[in-house]
Amino acid sequence: MRPRVPGRAALFAVLLSGVLHTPAAAAAPAAATACTWQASTLPLPSGTTSGRVSATDHQGGYSGTAWGADGRRRVLSWKDGTTTDYGTGGPNDQVVAQNSTGTIIGYSPIAYAPPAGHAWSTRNGKKAPLPKPATVYVSSAYAIKDNGDITGWMWGTFDGVWQTRHVRWPADRPTEFEMMPDLPKDAVVADVDDDGTMLLNFNGNQGTYAVGLWRDGTTTHLAEIPGATRTTVRAISNGRVIGETARPDATGKTATDGVLWDQDGSVHILPGTASVSGINRDGLIGAALDPDKNNDYLTGIWRLQTFDSVLGNADSSVTVVGNDGTIGGYRFNPATARSQPTIWRCGR
């Protein structure tokens, strides 16, 4: 049985007061007129019963996966009332990103011990593996430009040495790939901005959990969160970064907060949030609200540092925020244990 959900007006007031899991100095500014988000369920093809949105073209088009009783994922896109099915893969196939022309990239895991899998993109109405050498066990794509160039990484043997190499698959040469310069030591790519800036997490091998930006061979570390024991970045858009930080609260318990790094480098805790899931170029943010503080699993929408509204109900989850102001994700039906691919539009 789900915990009781507080009244929307009461929860809104609590969030604005800044008392949810938030230091007094980080209380949210008063919000402008909040959105009433209108949900639209996207259609599923015959033979599937669940689905979710994972990426957007930022022009009203979305992509994701759907599955039925066998669990195998079918890659789909939704645009202008049309659903396109790119074929069926394995039970863990993932959609990673989509560009403005509708090309989708993703990853298909094949094995886990040792790891094996391949990156793919949609082409001529189907998803097709991106090229890789026979000595590579894993290839994974993490970004696609509007011109179709794809960037990602490969893990395998190069010149007889096991290593991870970052690569580019050029759009005008679909059967080829190019090696890219090595990233800084211990860096893992979290996201890529439209101007090519890479958002990086640095793993614990350095003794810290640093986060930063990498462009033209130069690393710029993001501002640290006072008292943080671990910080992770998730997404970047138009120079703004979102992520999470863990730190002890007033009782000594480790608490996790959503964080925004703005274009000027300033860092802001998003009061009452436990994690973040998406940001668009205007600073519209989807974030999971702290379930320990509001008695249920709810998603909040922020406009930069300002809390806007609660999205739907406890069964609504955000995966991506479009530059057109729409939001993509899914709604889970606990009665049927099925997920519905969903988009939300602001209906002030």
The pLDDT, as a whole number, for residue 37 is 94
Span 311-344, pLDDT tens digits: 877 789 999 999 999 999 999 998 999 999 999 9
The pLDDT, as a whole number, for residue 247 is 87
Whether residue 126 lies inside any domain: the answer is no
Whether residue 284 lies inside any domain: the answer is yes
Q: Cis omega before residue 91 (within 30°)?
A: no
Report the chain's mean pLDDT, rounded to a whole number.
88
d(CA 216, CA 103) in angstroms, rounded, equals: 26
**Helical (H) or strand (E) element with 141:** strand 136-144
Span 112-166, pLDDT tens digits: 878 899 999 999 999 999 999 999 999 999 999 999 999 999 999 999 999 999 9
Whether residue 205 lies inside any domain: the answer is yes
pLDDT exceeds 50 at position 102: yes
Whether residue 264 lies inside any domain: the answer is yes
Whether residue 332 lies inside any domain: the answer is no
Pick from 311, 309, 288: which is nearest to 21 by CA? 288
Choose between 228 and 42: higher pLDDT.
42
The pLDDT, as a whole number, for residue 294 is 58
Whether residue 168 lies inside any domain: the answer is no
d(CA 138, CA 25) in angstroms, rounded, equals: 45
Whether residue 60 lies inside any domain: the answer is no
Q: If you ran DSSP here, which 8-state letter would residue 130 be given?
A: P
Burial annotation 30-44 (CB, 10 A radius, 16+ → b, else e): ebeebbebebeebeb
Structural contact between residues 191 and 143, judged by C-beta atoms closer than 8 angstroms: yes
Whether residue 286 lies inside any domain: the answer is yes
In 238-326, DSSP assigns E strands to 240-248, 254-261, 267-270, 273-279, 284-289, 299-303, 306-311, 316-321
Domain that residue 265 falls in:
1-30+184-314
d(CA 22, CA 270) in angstroms, rounded, equals: 8
Q: How many structural domains is the chain composed of?
A: 1
Least confident of 41-55, 76-90, 239-253: 239-253
Going by pLDDT thresholds of 50, 70 and 90, the confidence category of residue 348 is confident
Q: If you ran DSSP here, which 8-state letter would residue 206 be given?
A: G
The pLDDT, as a whole number, for residue 22 is 35
Q: If you ran DSSP here, which 8-state letter would residue 30 be given?
A: P
The pLDDT, as a whole number, for residue 11 is 40
The pLDDT, as a whole number, for residue 28 is 41
Contacts of 202 (CB under 8 A, 6+ apart): 184, 186, 187, 188, 208, 209, 210, 211, 212
The pLDDT, as a whole number, for residue 251 is 85
Span 47-73, pLDDT tens digits: 999 999 999 999 999 999 999 999 999
Choose between 25 and 216: higher pLDDT.
216
The pLDDT, as a whole number, for residue 208 is 57
What is the model's pTM?
Answer: 0.87
